[in-house]
Amino acid sequence: MHLFFTPDLQPTNTSYTLSGEESKHCARVLRLGQGDAVTLVDGRGGLFEAEIAEANPKKTKLSILQVHSEYQKRGYSIHVAVAPTKNMDRMEWFVEKAVEMGIDEITFLQCARSERKNLNLERLEKIAISAMKQSVKAYLPTLHPLTRYADFLQQPIAGQPFIAHLVEGQERHSLAKSVSGQDTYTILIGPEGDFSPEEVAQALEAGYKPVTLGQSRLRTETAALAACHTIHVLLDV
């Protein structure tokens, strides 16, 4: 299956012209020609079956044959808010794997113990698009820019909110035993030095429930992916 990202494609379109970058990949790299079948995704749930009408490295024209709306739409959503690691390769790995697995939103948190003060959101978005195409997903998750922890906690809470932390002396429940039903799930994952006790207290006051991801001590990006995977295992049936 040859899949292309077409963010401005509408369900009512009967024809479409690929962007310059996608046209080049289609006609020059993949060497596809007139009559070849391709698949398009708009990142909003639309998956389109199409056929090449005219192959051109600059403007490849397509005929839309069939539209699948809300392709593989789930009855629940996952929002992971995570403090970026000092090594961005690890955070890029998380974005790639989380998109492949299925995630709806990612917010990057600026916490008290964060070692990274900035990130290249444009690069992360490109990684997300590539992962969406690779895994044949029709939904592109929303990637939010670096956000102050306190500011994030002030945002309205949708569904069931959790904070995964390692602060001793506080009761925590297993995330696997806390997830219940088709809903919106928001999980906070701290930096490599974990959330501070003050940050945990702020989250609890804001309505977040403390959870554990198991007995193993996980790295930030592993914990973020484990939280995402846990919800899928329990609800994707």
Could you tell me what percent of the chain has a pLDDT over 70?
Answer: 100
Residues 89 and 158 in one domain: yes
Both 27 and 94 in one domain: the answer is no
The reply to whether 64 and 132 lie within a common domain is no
Same domain, 23 and 59: yes
* pLDDT for position 172: 86
Token digits of residue 99: 């998109």
- 230's torsion region: left (phi>0), alpha (psi -120 to 50) or beta? alpha
pLDDT of residue 163: 97
**Mean residue pLDDT across the chain:** 94
Domain end marker among 43, 68, 93: 68
pLDDT > 80? residue 23: yes
Question: Alpha-carbon distance 56 to 59, whole Å?
Answer: 5
Residues 62 and 87 in one domain: no
219 and 156 co-located in one domain: yes
Strands 209-212 and 15-17: unpaired
pLDDT tens per residue across span 37-84: 999 999 999 999 999 999 999 999 999 999 999 999 999 999 999 999
* pLDDT tier at 202, thresholds 50, 70, 90: very high
Cα 232-235-237 angle, rounded to 5 deg: 100
Q: How many domains does the chain have?
A: 2
Q: Which amino acid does the sequence have at 86?
A: K
Same structural domain, 57 and 81? no
Single out the residue in 68, 97, 123 at which a domain terminates: 68
pLDDT grade, residue 237 (50/70/90)?
Answer: low
Q: Both 56 and 125 in a single domain?
A: no
Q: Decide if pLDDT at 17 tops 80.
A: yes
Q: Measure the CA–CA gap between 125 and 5, rounded to whole angstroms.
A: 12
Summarised one tens digit per residue, pLDDT across range 105-125 is 999 999 999 988 899 999 999
Q: Is 150 left (phi over 0), alpha (psi -120 to 50) or beta?
A: alpha
Dihedral sign computed on CA atoms, order 108, 111, 116, 118? positive
CATH number, domain with residue 148 = 3.40.1280.10
User: Which residue intervals of the chain are DSSP H helices?
Assistant: 20-24, 88-101, 121-134, 149-153, 175-178, 197-206, 220-235
Statement to judge: residues 84 and 27 lie in one domain: no
Average pLDDT value for residue range 124-142: 96
Are residues 128 and 173 both part of a single domain? yes
Q: Which residues lie below 8 Å from residue 143, measured CB to CB, with a gap of 6+?
A: 95, 105, 106, 108, 121, 124, 125, 128
Q: Are residues 131 and 218 in the same domain?
A: yes
Highest mean pLDDT among 26-30, 115-119, 136-140, 180-184: 136-140
Domain boundary among 68, 91, 114: 68
Give the structural domain span for 35.
3-68
pLDDT band at residue 130 under the 50/70/90 scheme: very high
pTM equals: 0.93
